[in-house]
A and B are shown apart, each in its own frame.
Chain A
Amino acid sequence: MTKQKVQAGVLATRSVSPKQALRLRKRLLVTTKALNHLKKKTLISAMKMKQAGCCKPDGGSCCVNKKLN
């Protein structure tokens, strides 16, 4: 999504900026920090991660959670 000048319609709308979209996307993804936190709290275990074939955060669809569901 690029910042562009558009003619306002009858009900004018705005878009989020590319920077905001990236910020949101980043918050959606599973991070190593989050996984380590959950492991520390024993909410997920390294054993289950291994069973699920999960080696690292994979970009938003955490396979550990997916398979356990």
Chain B
Amino acid sequence: MTITNQQLRDAFLSPQLKHYFEKKLSRLSCAEVRIRVEEALKFLNIAVYCHGNIPVSKEIDEIWHYWILETKEYQKLCSALQGRKFLDHSSNDYLEYFDKDIERRNDLTRDVAMLATYVLNYGPFEKKRVKYWPLAAHLVEKSGLSVRQLNRWLTFGPPWASEWFLATSTNVNA
């Protein structure tokens, strides 16, 4: 049983917060704000399993920042999320003081684990949401994987590597 977008909104997004995000991100359509908030909630509700660099894009990080600024709401959110503990946020610019290579310190296994954890809890990636998860976006936009293939891989589907490279080769010849 996976968690739906509606369930996420009902559990964590109050009408006043919805209003707040739409005001802060008035340059975007309400539908786009809703998607970003949902993806932020998906990340935050599995963030307890994430160690190291965040696996989401800057647009989702922006939502997180706005949420943190509403301190009471953020505290309330953290106490309801998986883990029920305060989720700290730290900028790489700050962490760079301790570790010069922090920006480059990517861990593929960890990023893969977060994508698989996403699918495990929220179901397959939707095409329009892939861009908010950099590894997923890279695989789809740069490596020729379709969203269907991405989801199949993340759900431990049948071997697909040959199919992937066949698709890439076909694109090359076209």
Contact = CB atoms under 8 A, between A and B. Distances in A.
Contacts of A9: 45, 80-84
Interface residues of A, number: 38
Contacts of B161: 27, 30-31, 34
B51 to A, nearest CB: 7
Given A11-B45, A69-B168, A23 B156 contact: yes
B153 A28 contact: yes
Interface of A: 1-2, 4, 6-16, 18, 20-25, 27-28, 30-31, 34, 37-38, 43-44, 59-62, 65-66, 68-69
**Interface pairs A-B: 8 shortest CB-CB:** A21-B113, A9-B82, A15-B49, A16-B116, A1-B113, A13-B121, A7-B84, A43-B169
Interface of B: 3, 7-8, 11-12, 45-46, 48-51, 80-85, 108-110, 112-114, 116-117, 120-121, 139, 142-144, 153-154, 156, 159-162, 165-166, 168-169, 171-172
